[in-house]
Amino acid sequence: MEIIQQQLVRKFRKTLQSSWKQYRTIHKVEDNSDAFIEFLIDNQIIKKEIIRRYTIVREFKERAADFKTKSELIALLSERYQLSTRVIWNYIRQ
């Protein structure tokens, strides 16, 4: 099973590199991280849900010390990202 997983990752990497090179040529963009992230999003390689969850969890971890309770920060994130507090709590728990 591990060998199959390694083969899959190698194939994914090779395909992604090829697609990225072709994208840069067609769209005449520089080879930088911002353009690469945009490429990943445009091609739905990274879903918006993953971006949302990652961003919220990172912000929670970075700002947790600034709040007396987790609930205060959860309420702020809920308002900022227009999601229910339950959704924010679920992101944090995962």
* Residue pointed to by tokens 């994208």: 23
Closest CA to 63 of 94, 37, 88, 83: 88
Q: For the whole prediction, is pTM greater than 0.85?
A: no
Task: Tell me the per-residue pLDDT of 59-87, one tens digit each, with 9 for 90 and over.
Answer: 999 999 999 999 999 999 999 999 999 99
pLDDT of 1 over the 80 cut: no
Task: Tell me the per-residue pLDDT of 31-52, one tens digit each, with 9 for 90 and over.
Answer: 999 999 999 999 999 999 999 9
Phi then psi for residue 70, to 5 deg, are -65, -35
Closest CA to 53 of 7, 89, 28, 16: 89
pLDDT of 92 over the 80 cut: yes
